[in-house]
A and B are shown apart, each in its own frame.
Chain A
Amino acid sequence: MYKYFGIISLAFILFSCSKSKEETSASVAMNESREPDTIQPITVDVKMVYIPGGEYLPFYGEDTVLVEVKPFMIDERPVTNKEFLSFVKANPQWRKSVVKRIYADSNYLKLWPSDLELPIGADPDAPVCNVSWFAAKWFAESVGKRLPTLDEWEFVAMADADTPNARRKPAYSDYIVDLYLIKNKHLNPVKQSPPNYWGVYNMFDLVWEWTDDFNSIMVTGDSRTGQYDDKGLFCAGAATNSTDVMNYAAFMRFGLRTSLKAHYTVANLGFRCAKDTSLNNN
């Protein structure tokens, strides 16, 4: 038991560290570019879906520790090229020619021919990619929202078309892994496939998505270290057993998240926004 307690407290420490770090980074961003209140708000037309939350069993940690997810609202689909264009129009400090390298690497909006032009041939309604975590976070700010937490995102990801938690359905896991392996799917427009149980679209079939605390759970690059075991993310045996068939797809997501740094931009990595809600289950 002590061991588990230790791990949990460690996780808390890491989590709180990453929180404060994030605030520091944000304040640096504010000082160096514009004051936060000068982030120009923009309006986007995206439906948000109410998620009642509840207790769920994360893919990390011990298999008996449930995590509570409070009710929240989440965008029904990822942020699109068109919407990100409005953001950089209103907020010049996020244009590709001027963005600071500490906030977005050199692949930021890579295929955009210029600051205010979408990639040639790109669908304006396809998810925006090659955006850093910083950029995603400030976009969310500009629309009065925030990024979903990892737990919120994973909570929504448990749902298939018919049930809020399809983790025990082998076919659903296979379906997701199969989707993950399709190339260039990030070029397709949003909302062309059926929504899940909550009415949320495109959780798996377009892009990887940033979460607010994407690096709070680390799967080490070398998956045989103690850290890997401690976090309970040992995929191999449990991958398709009866306790959690979706583990395998989740494992691929956690692997991807672990490889990221906040200024990275990746060709098939986008995001969607979320926000708190005062509505509740009842």
Chain B
Amino acid sequence: MFKIAIISSDQFLRTLLSNSLGLVNARVTSYEGWSEELIGPLSHSNLLITLSSYPFLSGYDVVRRLRDAGGRPRIYVLSWLHDEQNVMSLLESGVDQYFTLPVSVPRLCGKIAAQINEWRNG
């Protein structure tokens, strides 16, 4: 089954996304924040949705660590930051998609459903 991990300290958004993605036939797990111990379990997910961009911009190099741990999950970042410099930095650091809040949940779900189909068809 397609595995999605949601990482957000905002409980409301975490619940909103978990509920919405529960409808797209995927196993959704949610976490309150990033930590060193999470890298292992997260690397086995197919998709990471995070609402904090700081791990990618702080020099922590999350993407390399995830890949070192054996996984190659796609990474979506949802954030209130919208300036080009931040978005470019995130994309350069290995993030696959960037969404600014407020977000269209039906559109996000549609995108993820397409991702799941692609994954199923190899």
Answer whether A and B are interacting partners: no
Name B's A-contacting residues (CB within 8 A): none
Residues of chain A touching chain B, judged by Cβ–Cβ distance below 8 Å, are none
